[in-house]
Amino acid sequence: MDDVQRPPYRHIEVRRIAGALGAEIAGVDIARPLADEIVTEMRRAWLEHLVIFLRGQQLTPQGLLAFSQRFGAPMEYPQLKGLPECPMITPVIKLEHERVNFGGVWHSDTTYLERPPMASMLYALETPPVGGDTLFANQYLAYESLSEGLKGALAGLVGVNSSAKADVTKSREDRLRAAGVESKLFTGEHPVVRTHPETGRKALYVNYGHTTRFKGWSEEESTPLLGYLFAHQVRPELTCRFHWEPGSLAFWDNRCTQHNPVNDYHGHRRVMHRVTLEGDIPR
Protein backbone atom coordinates (compact mmCIF):
# COMPACT_ATOMS: atom_id res chain seq x y z
CA MET A 1 0.00 0.00 0.00
CA ASP A 2 1.19 3.52 -0.68
CA ASP A 3 1.48 6.23 1.95
CA VAL A 4 -0.87 8.79 0.37
CA GLN A 5 -3.20 10.25 3.01
CA ARG A 6 -6.81 9.81 1.91
CA PRO A 7 -9.91 11.46 3.35
CA PRO A 8 -11.95 9.26 5.71
CA TYR A 9 -15.00 7.38 4.49
CA ARG A 10 -18.22 9.16 5.44
CA HIS A 11 -20.93 6.70 4.34
CA ILE A 12 -19.42 3.24 4.81
CA GLU A 13 -17.19 1.43 7.31
CA VAL A 14 -14.00 -0.06 5.86
CA ARG A 15 -11.88 -2.59 7.78
CA ARG A 16 -8.75 -4.10 6.25
CA ILE A 17 -8.45 -7.87 6.72
CA ALA A 18 -4.79 -8.35 5.69
CA GLY A 19 -1.68 -6.35 4.97
CA ALA A 20 -1.58 -7.07 1.25
CA LEU A 21 -5.18 -6.57 0.13
CA GLY A 22 -8.79 -7.03 1.14
CA ALA A 23 -11.28 -5.07 3.23
CA GLU A 24 -14.69 -5.73 4.72
CA ILE A 25 -17.36 -3.10 4.16
CA ALA A 26 -20.05 -2.58 6.81
CA GLY A 27 -23.01 -0.27 7.18
CA VAL A 28 -24.48 -0.97 3.73
CA ASP A 29 -27.56 -2.97 2.69
CA ILE A 30 -26.94 -3.56 -0.99
CA ALA A 31 -30.41 -5.04 -1.54
CA ARG A 32 -31.77 -1.49 -1.26
CA PRO A 33 -31.21 1.34 -3.76
CA LEU A 34 -27.88 2.99 -2.98
CA ALA A 35 -27.16 6.71 -3.07
CA ASP A 36 -24.48 7.78 -5.54
CA GLU A 37 -22.14 8.89 -2.75
CA ILE A 38 -22.25 5.40 -1.20
CA VAL A 39 -21.43 3.76 -4.55
CA THR A 40 -18.59 6.26 -5.04
CA GLU A 41 -17.07 5.37 -1.66
CA MET A 42 -17.47 1.64 -2.30
CA ARG A 43 -15.67 1.95 -5.62
CA ARG A 44 -12.92 3.94 -3.95
CA ALA A 45 -12.53 1.22 -1.30
CA TRP A 46 -12.50 -1.44 -4.04
CA LEU A 47 -9.76 0.33 -6.00
CA GLU A 48 -7.74 0.89 -2.83
CA HIS A 49 -8.08 -2.64 -1.39
CA LEU A 50 -8.50 -4.63 -4.67
CA VAL A 51 -11.17 -6.90 -3.17
CA ILE A 52 -13.98 -5.91 -0.84
CA PHE A 53 -16.33 -8.11 1.17
CA LEU A 54 -19.80 -7.60 2.61
CA ARG A 55 -21.61 -9.88 5.06
CA GLY A 56 -25.21 -10.42 6.06
CA GLN A 57 -26.72 -9.48 2.70
CA GLN A 58 -30.03 -10.84 1.38
CA LEU A 59 -29.94 -10.77 -2.41
CA THR A 60 -32.11 -12.26 -5.11
CA PRO A 61 -30.40 -12.88 -8.47
CA GLN A 62 -32.06 -9.72 -9.75
CA GLY A 63 -30.82 -7.81 -6.71
CA LEU A 64 -27.25 -9.01 -7.26
CA LEU A 65 -27.48 -7.99 -10.91
CA ALA A 66 -28.85 -4.54 -10.02
CA PHE A 67 -26.03 -3.98 -7.51
CA SER A 68 -23.38 -5.04 -10.01
CA GLN A 69 -24.74 -2.61 -12.60
CA ARG A 70 -23.78 0.31 -10.34
CA PHE A 71 -20.12 -0.59 -11.02
CA GLY A 72 -20.04 -1.83 -14.60
CA ALA A 73 -21.75 -3.72 -17.40
CA PRO A 74 -22.49 -7.40 -16.70
CA MET A 75 -21.27 -9.90 -19.29
CA GLU A 76 -22.09 -13.54 -20.02
CA TYR A 77 -19.64 -16.15 -18.78
CA PRO A 78 -18.22 -17.83 -21.91
CA GLN A 79 -18.32 -21.44 -20.65
CA LEU A 80 -21.45 -21.81 -18.50
CA LYS A 81 -25.10 -20.84 -18.85
CA GLY A 82 -26.61 -18.35 -16.46
CA LEU A 83 -29.79 -18.78 -14.45
CA PRO A 84 -32.93 -19.14 -16.63
CA GLU A 85 -34.62 -16.26 -14.82
CA CYS A 86 -31.46 -14.09 -14.80
CA PRO A 87 -29.00 -15.16 -17.53
CA MET A 88 -26.21 -12.78 -16.44
CA ILE A 89 -26.00 -14.54 -13.07
CA THR A 90 -23.99 -17.78 -13.20
CA PRO A 91 -24.47 -20.46 -10.53
CA VAL A 92 -21.19 -21.79 -9.10
CA ILE A 93 -21.97 -25.07 -7.36
CA LYS A 94 -20.10 -27.96 -5.80
CA LEU A 95 -22.36 -30.82 -4.72
CA GLU A 96 -21.80 -33.30 -1.92
CA HIS A 97 -20.57 -36.12 -4.20
CA GLU A 98 -18.19 -33.98 -6.26
CA ARG A 99 -14.45 -33.97 -5.64
CA VAL A 100 -13.32 -31.18 -7.98
CA ASN A 101 -14.44 -27.58 -7.42
CA PHE A 102 -15.01 -24.97 -10.12
CA GLY A 103 -11.91 -22.89 -10.92
CA GLY A 104 -9.97 -24.50 -8.09
CA VAL A 105 -6.52 -23.17 -8.99
CA TRP A 106 -4.90 -19.74 -8.79
CA HIS A 107 -6.20 -17.62 -11.67
CA SER A 108 -7.59 -14.32 -12.88
CA ASP A 109 -10.98 -14.81 -14.51
CA THR A 110 -11.10 -15.67 -18.22
CA THR A 111 -7.84 -14.04 -19.29
CA TYR A 112 -8.20 -16.10 -22.48
CA LEU A 113 -10.71 -13.50 -23.74
CA GLU A 114 -9.67 -10.52 -25.85
CA ARG A 115 -11.36 -8.30 -23.26
CA PRO A 116 -11.04 -10.05 -19.90
CA PRO A 117 -13.51 -8.96 -17.24
CA MET A 118 -12.86 -5.88 -15.17
CA ALA A 119 -14.32 -7.48 -12.06
CA SER A 120 -16.30 -10.35 -10.61
CA MET A 121 -18.80 -10.57 -7.77
CA LEU A 122 -19.58 -13.79 -5.91
CA TYR A 123 -22.50 -14.14 -3.52
CA ALA A 124 -22.88 -17.07 -1.11
CA LEU A 125 -26.20 -18.90 -0.78
CA GLU A 126 -25.07 -22.16 0.87
CA THR A 127 -21.69 -22.75 2.48
CA PRO A 128 -20.09 -25.81 4.09
CA PRO A 129 -19.84 -25.99 7.89
CA VAL A 130 -16.05 -25.63 7.61
CA GLY A 131 -13.74 -24.89 4.69
CA GLY A 132 -14.56 -23.43 1.31
CA ASP A 133 -12.59 -20.21 1.84
CA THR A 134 -11.23 -18.19 -1.07
CA LEU A 135 -7.67 -16.84 -1.29
CA PHE A 136 -6.82 -13.59 -3.11
CA ALA A 137 -3.41 -12.27 -4.20
CA ASN A 138 -2.24 -8.72 -4.93
CA GLN A 139 -0.65 -8.51 -8.38
CA TYR A 140 0.54 -4.93 -7.91
CA LEU A 141 2.76 -6.16 -5.09
CA ALA A 142 3.71 -9.23 -7.10
CA TYR A 143 5.14 -6.95 -9.79
CA GLU A 144 6.62 -4.34 -7.46
CA SER A 145 8.51 -6.96 -5.43
CA LEU A 146 10.38 -8.30 -8.50
CA SER A 147 14.00 -7.29 -9.06
CA GLU A 148 14.67 -4.42 -11.45
CA GLY A 149 16.45 -6.87 -13.73
CA LEU A 150 13.43 -9.16 -14.00
CA LYS A 151 11.08 -6.21 -14.46
CA GLY A 152 13.23 -5.20 -17.42
CA ALA A 153 13.17 -8.71 -18.85
CA LEU A 154 9.36 -8.86 -18.63
CA ALA A 155 8.81 -5.46 -20.26
CA GLY A 156 7.27 -5.98 -23.66
CA LEU A 157 6.59 -9.70 -23.19
CA VAL A 158 3.13 -10.98 -24.12
CA GLY A 159 1.47 -13.93 -22.44
CA VAL A 160 -0.62 -16.45 -24.38
CA ASN A 161 -3.70 -17.50 -22.38
CA SER A 162 -5.89 -20.49 -23.19
CA SER A 163 -9.23 -21.79 -21.95
CA ALA A 164 -7.95 -25.33 -22.55
CA LYS A 165 -5.19 -25.44 -19.93
CA ALA A 166 -5.60 -28.89 -18.38
CA ASP A 167 -5.98 -28.15 -14.67
CA VAL A 168 -8.67 -25.52 -15.20
CA THR A 169 -10.49 -27.53 -17.86
CA LYS A 170 -10.78 -30.39 -15.37
CA SER A 171 -12.41 -28.06 -12.84
CA ARG A 172 -15.16 -27.20 -15.36
CA GLU A 173 -15.95 -30.64 -16.73
CA ASP A 174 -18.71 -31.63 -14.29
CA ARG A 175 -20.55 -28.33 -14.63
CA LEU A 176 -20.36 -28.33 -18.42
CA ARG A 177 -21.52 -31.96 -18.64
CA ALA A 178 -24.45 -31.34 -16.28
CA ALA A 179 -25.50 -28.27 -18.26
CA GLY A 180 -25.16 -30.03 -21.61
CA VAL A 181 -22.78 -27.33 -22.81
CA GLU A 182 -19.96 -28.00 -25.26
CA SER A 183 -16.63 -26.56 -24.14
CA LYS A 184 -15.27 -23.84 -26.44
CA LEU A 185 -11.64 -22.98 -27.07
CA PHE A 186 -10.61 -19.36 -26.46
CA THR A 187 -7.13 -17.86 -26.73
CA GLY A 188 -6.12 -14.37 -25.59
CA GLU A 189 -2.76 -12.58 -25.81
CA HIS A 190 -2.05 -9.92 -23.17
CA PRO A 191 0.94 -8.02 -21.74
CA VAL A 192 2.76 -9.91 -19.01
CA VAL A 193 2.78 -6.60 -17.12
CA ARG A 194 -0.38 -4.54 -17.55
CA THR A 195 -1.13 -1.00 -16.44
CA HIS A 196 -4.35 -0.58 -14.50
CA PRO A 197 -6.56 1.87 -16.45
CA GLU A 198 -7.95 3.54 -13.30
CA THR A 199 -5.03 3.58 -10.86
CA GLY A 200 -2.11 3.72 -13.31
CA ARG A 201 -0.24 1.06 -11.31
CA LYS A 202 1.52 -1.86 -12.98
CA ALA A 203 0.42 -5.42 -12.17
CA LEU A 204 1.78 -8.83 -13.07
CA TYR A 205 -0.73 -10.33 -15.50
CA VAL A 206 0.08 -14.01 -16.00
CA ASN A 207 -1.67 -16.76 -14.07
CA TYR A 208 -1.32 -20.48 -13.49
CA GLY A 209 -4.89 -21.18 -14.57
CA HIS A 210 -4.69 -19.82 -18.10
CA THR A 211 -1.22 -18.65 -19.20
CA THR A 212 0.51 -21.32 -21.31
CA ARG A 213 3.58 -19.57 -22.76
CA PHE A 214 5.08 -16.26 -23.87
CA LYS A 215 4.28 -15.11 -27.38
CA GLY A 216 7.14 -16.06 -29.69
CA TRP A 217 8.42 -18.65 -27.19
CA SER A 218 7.71 -22.36 -27.07
CA GLU A 219 5.95 -23.84 -24.03
CA GLU A 220 9.19 -25.62 -23.11
CA GLU A 221 11.13 -22.34 -23.19
CA SER A 222 8.41 -20.52 -21.26
CA THR A 223 7.93 -23.06 -18.48
CA PRO A 224 10.92 -22.14 -16.22
CA LEU A 225 10.16 -18.42 -16.09
CA LEU A 226 6.40 -18.89 -15.89
CA GLY A 227 6.88 -21.40 -13.09
CA TYR A 228 8.90 -18.86 -11.12
CA LEU A 229 6.29 -16.14 -11.69
CA PHE A 230 3.37 -18.41 -10.77
CA ALA A 231 5.01 -19.25 -7.44
CA HIS A 232 6.13 -15.67 -6.76
CA GLN A 233 2.80 -14.00 -7.40
CA VAL A 234 0.91 -16.01 -4.75
CA ARG A 235 3.47 -15.89 -1.92
CA PRO A 236 1.65 -15.78 1.46
CA GLU A 237 2.62 -12.17 2.19
CA LEU A 238 0.83 -11.10 -1.02
CA THR A 239 -2.49 -12.74 -0.10
CA CYS A 240 -5.60 -12.58 2.04
CA ARG A 241 -8.14 -15.27 2.91
CA PHE A 242 -11.92 -14.87 3.13
CA HIS A 243 -14.23 -17.17 5.07
CA TRP A 244 -17.68 -17.40 3.53
CA GLU A 245 -21.03 -17.40 5.28
CA PRO A 246 -24.49 -17.39 3.66
CA GLY A 247 -25.16 -13.80 2.66
CA SER A 248 -21.48 -12.94 2.09
CA LEU A 249 -20.39 -11.15 -1.08
CA ALA A 250 -16.93 -10.65 -2.56
CA PHE A 251 -16.16 -8.07 -5.26
CA TRP A 252 -12.68 -8.31 -6.76
CA ASP A 253 -10.70 -6.45 -9.41
CA ASN A 254 -9.55 -8.97 -12.04
CA ARG A 255 -7.04 -6.48 -13.45
CA CYS A 256 -4.78 -6.64 -10.39
CA THR A 257 -5.74 -9.73 -8.38
CA GLN A 258 -5.84 -13.49 -8.60
CA HIS A 259 -7.99 -15.84 -6.55
CA ASN A 260 -8.13 -19.50 -5.59
CA PRO A 261 -11.18 -21.23 -4.08
CA VAL A 262 -9.88 -23.75 -1.55
CA ASN A 263 -11.23 -27.25 -2.18
CA ASP A 264 -11.32 -28.60 1.40
CA TYR A 265 -15.00 -29.38 2.01
CA HIS A 266 -15.69 -32.75 0.34
CA GLY A 267 -19.07 -34.19 1.27
CA HIS A 268 -20.68 -30.77 1.65
CA ARG A 269 -22.57 -28.47 -0.68
CA ARG A 270 -21.44 -24.98 -1.67
CA VAL A 271 -23.78 -22.82 -3.77
CA MET A 272 -22.80 -19.37 -5.03
CA HIS A 273 -24.07 -16.85 -7.59
CA ARG A 274 -21.56 -14.98 -9.73
CA VAL A 275 -21.75 -11.93 -11.96
CA THR A 276 -18.88 -10.72 -14.13
CA LEU A 277 -18.36 -7.15 -15.34
CA GLU A 278 -17.02 -6.19 -18.77
CA GLY A 279 -13.41 -5.06 -19.05
CA ASP A 280 -11.12 -3.45 -21.58
CA ILE A 281 -8.20 -4.72 -23.67
CA PRO A 282 -5.18 -4.97 -21.32
CA ARG A 283 -2.40 -2.48 -22.07
Q: Is residue 3 part of a domain?
A: no
Q: Is residue 97 part of a domain?
A: yes
- Read off the pLDDT of residues 255-277 as tens digits, 9 standing for 90 and up: 999 999 999 999 999 999 999 99
pLDDT greater than 50 at residue 1: no
Question: What does the pLDDT average to over 224-241?
Answer: 98
pLDDT greater than 90 at residue 78: no
pLDDT band at 7 (very low <50, low <70, confident <90, very high): confident
- The predicted pLDDT at position 182 comes to 63
Nearest to 141 by CA among 1, 283, 281: 1
CA dihedral 248, 276, 183, 257 (to 10 degrees): -80
pLDDT greater than 90 at residue 254: yes
Question: What does the pLDDT average to over 17-31?
Answer: 98
- Read off the pLDDT of residues 148-171 as tens digits, 9 standing for 90 and up: 999 999 999 999 999 998 655 554
Instruction: Output the pTM of the full model.
Output: 0.92
Q: Is residue 8 part of a domain?
A: no
Q: Is residue 188 part of a domain?
A: yes
pLDDT band at 188 (very low <50, low <70, confident <90, very high): very high
- Read off the pLDDT of residues 79-112 as tens digits, 9 standing for 90 and up: 788 999 999 999 999 999 999 998 899 999 999 9
Nearest to 185 by CA among 113, 259, 125, 137: 113
Q: Which residues are catalytic?
A: 107, 109, 259, 274
Residue 194 structural domain = 13-277
Question: What does the pLDDT average to over 225-244?
Answer: 98
Instruction: Considering only CA atoms, give the Rg of the chain.
Output: 18
Average pLDDT, the chain: 93
Q: Is residue 146 part of a domain?
A: yes
Q: Is residue 45 part of a domain?
A: yes
Question: What does the pLDDT average to over 24-50?
Answer: 98
CATH of the domain at 125: 3.60.130.10
Nearest to 207 by CA among 248, 168, 238, 244: 168
What domain count does the chain have? 1
Q: Is residue 283 part of a domain?
A: no
- Read off the pLDDT of residues 169-184 as tens digits, 9 standing for 90 and up: 554 455 555 555 566 8
- The predicted pLDDT at position 6 comes to 76
- The predicted pLDDT at position 168 comes to 56
Beta-carbon neighbour count of residue 145 at 10 Å? 14
Q: Is residue 129 part of a domain?
A: yes
